[in-house]
């Protein structure tokens, strides 16, 4: 399965960010994500060695609801305030307990500057 293209909604610096993904099969049945972990990284370009943002199940930036096939992206307002740059490219990988990895989605994301400080 190839990663689906999805440009994420803009991340507004200084504001809490939440975005929900529902992973379903071709019959509209939720993919069981029991015992899965996941990681998302944003870099300025695909080749960049600098990670601008990392969300994962380990740092609670990604929260999985297994039986619903649901992955929630979460960034606190404190964390968005310190984002640098204007955004970039990202992908989201899901790791299954049997060792399989799926690149679920990929695309672009923009960091919008904050005026009120």
In terms of residues, how long is the chain?
Answer: 117
What's the rounded mean pLDDT across residues 46-59? Answer: 97
Q: Cα–Cα–Cα angle for 89, 47, 21, nearest 5°? A: 25
**Residue 104 CB-half CA count within 13 A:** 21
Find the mean pLDDT for residues 42-61: 97
Instruction: Tell me the domains of the chain and their CATH numbers.
Output: 4-112 (2.60.40.10)
β-strand pairing of 101-112 with 4-5: parallel
Kindly report, residue by residue over 35-47, the tens digit of the pLDDT. Answer: 999 999 999 999 9
Res 117: pLDDT: 80
Cβ 71 vs Cβ 30: under 8 Å: no
Instruction: Specify burial of residue 46 (Cβ count, 10 A radius: 0-12, 13-18, 19+).
Output: exposed
For residue 2, pLDDT over 90 is answered with: no
pLDDT score of 73: 98
Using pLDDT thresholds of 50, 70 and 90, give the confidence band for residue 75: very high
- CA dist 14 and 112 (Å) reads 9
Contact 67, 53 (CB under 8 A): no
Report residue 18 as tokens.
């939440």
Tell me if 89 sits within 8 A of 97, measured CB to CB.
no
């Amino acid at each position: 399965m190839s990663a689906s293209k999805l440009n994420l909604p803009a991340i507004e610096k200084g504001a809490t960010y939440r975005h929900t993904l529902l992973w379903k099969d071709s019959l509209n049945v939720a993919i069981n994500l029991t015992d899965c972990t996941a990681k998302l990284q944003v870099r300025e370009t695909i080749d960049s060695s600098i990670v601008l943002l990392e969300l994962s199940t380990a740092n609670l930036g990604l929260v999985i609801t297994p039986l619903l096939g649901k992955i929630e992206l979460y960034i606190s307002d404190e964390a968005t305030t310190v984002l640098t740059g204007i955004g970039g490219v990202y992908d989201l990988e899901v790791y299954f307990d049997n060792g399989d990895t799926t690149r679920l989605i990929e695309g672009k994301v923009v960091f919008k500057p904050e005026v009120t400080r």
